[in-house]
Structure 1
């Protein structure tokens, strides 16, 4: 390629070239296909050879319809998260914690901002000075969060949570070390017994991944109605109805929150009601639903430990005006178990299963039923007999 594109001004020159090609395609009403981009590029009068044109076409298409410099990371099946803090600060997570990617850079801060705004537009969301943040789902399922300056100090921040084309199977999670054979059999038995449960854990522990896998174990004759703020769950199941929330428009109207969606879901004849992430007042409607014959409901919740889940739900319910006594009364009859995930030196893995129980005080706490060490070995807790009885005393996972 010519020396001009290797100079310190190469990034700005390429940005100007991208803008010129984009304008020409817009004026011609052409799609940014390889042939169209190549023709528009040659029309700019740059004396590039065929090899150089092909490479620039690839780069231009990435800048115009892809994620620009981030495309190679998003194409890596091992990458779960891509984070951009600045032109020279790109990070990724391949399951072992965040790693800096020094060889991927943006020309300047404006290039980061342009990428964030283009991705937001592709997701049908607004991102500008009047609304300097967005949380959206890209067409390929990738979760986008972006914040513009001055809210983000210094530079636009982009966070991308990569969505797999298909969910993991239980055997794949076992091979990856996320579950032991006993743990996988136990989870299968819990789903088959129509237990209502929450998958808990911190950020990046694999809650959504595990939930999608478990939903794939539900019988094909059952109807799943999945409610999410941003649609991420893609279970391998023949009968899934997905409802997604919507933010307000520029006039502040049109908001559709999870409480609205849970209420609508109950009118759609669900065999299993699923809330992708319980994070607010929708916990009230979910618990009410699980108390009215909707067995086998499930979802995820952020919590540092399984024992903290009742207190976490109590805090969320208080925002909806439900007092402590009423919340615990509903909780005792609504949820059966908590499956807790951790992220440690052994990677993302299932750490324990706890059952919910109502104490003499009337408040709900958790009782340990099974622990799983980093080596995958299972240890029984005081709630083991109750869990075994509920799951049919299956010898495949009772041994240990």
Structure 2
């Protein structure tokens, strides 16, 4: 079908908002002076409806069972991840102009502007999907989009054990960490399963406890009866209205949380998170990007610098704020828990002591140290 005709009819419908019906498309066609048969008219209605509703032709890919991510690198370069790793999709979005128009419309759905003056956008769409889009020339010749698809429900620990994400012995250990109200940090790379594990652990928290969750964009799905979720807000088109993660962490402390949860520490909010976990808020937790558990202290140092904290201040806060570090990774197309560690601070600086790793198993010495810590936390002899 003539792309110019599709664009002309779509433009008319955008100027006259309303349902994309056969009669509306027929009226737009009449205005253009074109005549189509009934079959072609229905096809035009279908194509324009897809372009004006949801994510257009990408919507079925976002709705597919198991979909976690979707990537658009160009009109014919579409990739998806349905939990088995990234794989190509045989679909065409038309021209570069069509891809750009789709990205601009989706950004507007989330209340953000995307154009030459604002060529980058990261926004949560009305259905919860998170979109990141970049326009040329920053992205080369084509508009690039990345979608993160939220789960409709969170995992439970038994599901993660059955799926091979975590071993039964380590799952039992982490449940002890949870019951003892120890503070823990989950580290890992993008898409490694940090949020999946955090949501599964929080689902095991006693129903009588109140969970306060702070996130940059709502991603956590927690099967728990008392959850309050706060999400940061970016500036609007006028450059006003921002509510930062640090603002939300400070406010969450005034909402009497039994457990404070920071969905991901990626900036100055690390100062407020560490301070909160050092002032009697037991059972707190957060996630952070890091290559290994050993690199977590350096990562926290870097984030602390964004909040004006010296390395020494970060070290002293870390020494008493975080009890356990859990590292997850994506390995050979699958995601797994691969390290459980104890943070340690010495004269030479902060480090971690490995309690368990996927390669070496349990360390008897460090396992005994963790057992003693959990017994103390739980108030047992």
Instruction: Return the TM-score normalized by structure 1.
Output: 0.86
Query: Among 37, 40, 52, which residue is 2:24 paired with?
Result: 40
The reply to whether residue 363 of structure 1 matches residue 349 of structure 2 is yes
Residue in 2 that maps onto 1:188 = 175
1:62/1:188 Cα in 2 relative to 1: closer, same or farther (>3 Å)? farther
Per-residue CA distance 1:218-244 (angstroms, 9 max, x = gap): 111111111111121121111111221
What is the aligned partner in structure 1 of residue 254 from structure 2?
267
Name the counterpart of 1:372. Answer: 358
Q: CA deviation at 1:379?
A: 3.3
CA contact (8 A) 1:370 1:381 kept: no
2:58 to 62, 66, 70: 70
Aligned residue for 2:92? Answer: 105
Are the structure 2 counterparts of residues 388 and 346 from structure 1 closer, same or farther at C-alpha, using a change threshold of 3 Å?
A: farther
Q: Give the corresponding residue for 1:86.
A: 74
Is 1:167–1:235's contact at 8 Å kept on the other side of the alignment?
yes
- Conservation of the 8 A alpha-carbon contact between 2:216 and 2:231: yes
Deviation at 1:12, TM superposition (A): 4.1
CA distance in 1, matches of 2:49, 2:170: 45
1:16 aligns with 8
Kept in 2, the 8 Å contact 1:144–1:158? The answer is yes
Q: Deviations for 1:164-188, whole angstroms, at most 9, x for unmatched residues?
A: 1111111222222212222222222
> Using the alignment, how far apart are the partners of 2:369 and 2:153 within structure 1?
34
Find the aligned partners of 2:26 and 2:114 in 1 and give their Cα distance: 33
Equivalenced residues, count: 371
1:77 Cα offset (Å): 2.1
**Cα distance in 2 for residues equivalent to 1:209 and 1:12:** 45
1:159 aligns with 2:146: yes
* Secondary structure, aligned partner of 1:200: strand
Q: Deviations over 1:48-105 (max 9, x none)?
A: 54x766665454333212111211211112221111111111112233432222x211
Encode CA deviations 1:279-334: one digit per residue, 9 max, x unaligned: 11111111000000001111110100001101110111022221111111111110
Using the TM superposition, give the Cα deviation of residue 364 of structure 1 relative to its aligned residue in structure 2, in angstroms: 2.5
Q: Is the partner of 2:354 in helix, strand or coil?
A: strand
Secondary structure of the residue that 2:107 maps to in structure 1?
helix
Q: Whole-Å Cα distance in 2 between the matches of residues 42 and 381 of structure 1?
A: 75
Matches within 5 A, 1:21-32: 21-24=13-16, 26=17, 30=18, 32=19
SS in 1 for 2:255: coil
1:386 maps onto 2:369 in alignment:
yes
Q: Distance in 1 between matches of 2:45 and 2:169?
A: 51
Equivalent positions of 1:1-400 (< 5 A) are 5=1, 9=2, 11-24=3-16, 26=17, 30=18, 32=19, 37-43=21-27, 44=29, 47-49=36-38, 57-101=45-89, 103-345=90-332, 347-359=334-346, 361=347, 363-373=349-359, 378-380=361-363, 382-391=365-374
Provide the C-alpha distance between the structure 2 equivalents of 1:346 and 1:190, rounded to a whole number of angstroms.
Answer: 28
Q: Residues 8-33 of structure 1: CA distance to partner in whole angstroms, max 9, x if unpaired? A: x4x44434333334444x1xxx3x3x
Render the CA deviation track for 1:366-398: whole Å, top value 9, x for unaligned: 11111235xxx95345411122334459xxxxx
Q: For 2:176 and 2:11, how far apart are their aligned partners in 1?
A: 56
